[in-house]
Amino acid sequence: MPSTNAARSAGAEDHQVVIGLVVDHGATPTEVGEYLQNELAGLLTEHVDDTTSWEVRASHEPLPAGKYGHASMFDVGQERLRERGWDLTICITDLPMRSGRRPVVAEASMDRGTAVVSLPAFGVMRLQRRVSRVVVQLIAELLGRDVSADFQPSMKSRRRPQRWLSGRFDRVDPDDSENVDVRITASRGTQRMLVGMVRANQPWLVAFGLTGATAGSLAFSAFYLLSSTLWELSNQLGPVRLSLATLSSLTVLVSWLIIRHGLWESPRRADLPHERYEVRLFNASTVLTLAIGMLCMYVALLLMLFAAAWLILDDAVLSTYVGGSVGFGTYANIAWLATSAAGIAGALGSSFDSEAKVRQAAYSYREHERRAQREQERQSEQSGDHRESETSAQRS
């Protein structure tokens, strides 16, 4: 089996370079992987070297999770490179990576011919375009170290990817002890990473997985919609108090989901400051994911109840309870208050959803695996401490 460097040199002499993409499970990595598979060869021809035949191949498989997941991904990338005869490997994952408190978007190892790209720190806007620019930069650097003399990219092409990183991303030279040659970090802190983590969780799909909460909200909304007491009350509250009712309903629903199903991680369980910071970041992602998901469910239910009120409720009957003429605002207020009340019922209905089902609905594949791995590591540490205590007790 030829070495990594030899394989890449051979690819350069043949004027063909094969780029392998190892795409993690999950909607966002799959979306980005498909884009790169279709567009990366053209981008490399345009911005790195137009005399080379670029070929991009993709492999979809779960990448390592847990505390040291990103480091293990280099091993996976190098292994796939050797097995499949690739010249370079790019691992695409939505596992968050950090250097201290600085979000990391990518790391590359020259010896292994592998780069790992972490999607959360790219944020949400123009995700595919940003990722493609960073990947082009990584490939140019990986090939620029040990490529043959007749395959040197032009100076113009080499500078362009570097300019792409200015403003949004910073190129960093890591310490020698980290076994990483190139690191690219996000320049706008944790906000972009947090938004990227929430995007990976796909909060707009949360309600589809919470059948108990959804069923509870729908069932009680029909009852509230036909309550004459609610008609009278909705006409008297006004927009400010109805808005407070909405906020209260969503707060109760999100809080109940987190507490009832154990979605909150205690920072006190983490030993190191950077681990406690990571736990707070994941907790914030959980809250935002559920808040957005429940808001989407709230808006959908509001529209349904408004349509039902408009079709079912009679103007003459309503006017006797609201004490005046009935119009668009009357139906809107009834649907608004009924939706807020139904949200409280939905919190109770979520109790019928299992903890595993709620976690699956609230988290992306990668976040679900990370939490499961973290729990296994914690249990292993507790088991080890327990065995050490028993051994000490026996010796004494």
Residue 18 pLDDT: 93
Residue 70 pLDDT: 63
> What is the bridge-based pairing of β-strands 88-93 and 97-99?
unpaired
Distance CA 217, CA 343 (A): 6
- The DSSP code for 203 is G
Q: Which of 378, 386, 373 is nearest to 69 (CA)?
A: 373
Please give the angle made by the CA atoms of 66, 72 and 75, to the nearest 5 degrees.
Answer: 165
- The DSSP code for 127 is H
Ranked by mean pLDDT, the top range of 59-63, 165-169, 357-361, 377-381 is 59-63
Q: Which of residues 359 and 342 earns the better pLDDT score? A: 342
H or E segment to which residue 227 belongs: none
Q: Which pLDDT tens digit goes with each residue over 267-317?
A: 666 555 566 777 788 888 889 989 998 899 899 999 999 999 898 888 888
Q: Which of 153, 141, 325, 333 is nearest to 225 (CA)?
A: 333
Residue 147 pLDDT: 29
Residue 12 pLDDT: 42
One-letter amino acid for residue 291 of the chain: A
Find out whether 118 and 105 touch, Cβ atoms under 8 Å: yes
Residue 90 pLDDT: 95
Predicted confidence (pLDDT) at residue 30 exceeds the cutoff of 70 = yes
Q: State percent of the chain over pLDDT 70.
A: 75
Average pLDDT over residues 146-163: 37
Cα maximum dimension of the chain: 89
Give the number of other CB atoms < 10 A from CB of residue 292.
Answer: 18
Residue 14, judged by CB atoms within 10 A of its CB (0-12, 13-18, 19+), counts as: exposed
Residue 171 pLDDT: 80
CB burial of 66-99 (b: ≥16 within 10 Å; e: otherwise) equals: beebbbebbebbbebbbeeebbbbbbbbbbbbbe
Sign of the dihedral through C-alpha 386, 388, 392, 395: positive
Residue 270 pLDDT: 59
Distance CA 369, CA 388 (A): 28
Predicted confidence (pLDDT) at residue 196 exceeds the cutoff of 50 = yes
Owner of token pair 């103007």: 315
Q: Which of 394, 234, 395 is nearest to 318 (CA)?
A: 234
Distance spanning both ends of the chain, measured CA to CA: 55
Residue 161 pLDDT: 40
Q: Which pLDDT tens digit goes with each residue over 214-250?
A: 888 888 888 888 888 888 888 888 899 999 999 999 9
Per-residue 3-state assignment (H helix, E strand, C coil) for 130-188 = HHHHHHHHHHHHHHHCCCCHHHCCCHHHHHHHHHHCCCCEEEECCCHHHCCCEEEEECC
Q: 0.75 exceeded by the pTM?
A: no
- State the average pLDDT for the chain: 78
Q: Which pLDDT tens digit goes with each residue over 121-150?
A: 887 778 888 898 889 888 988 887 332 233
Q: Which pLDDT tens digit goes with each residue over 40-58?
A: 998 888 888 878 899 999 9
Q: Which pLDDT tens digit goes with each residue over 118-129?
A: 988 887 778 888
Residue 156 pLDDT: 41
Domains and CATH numbers, the chain: 4-189 (3.40.390.10), 202-362 (no CATH)
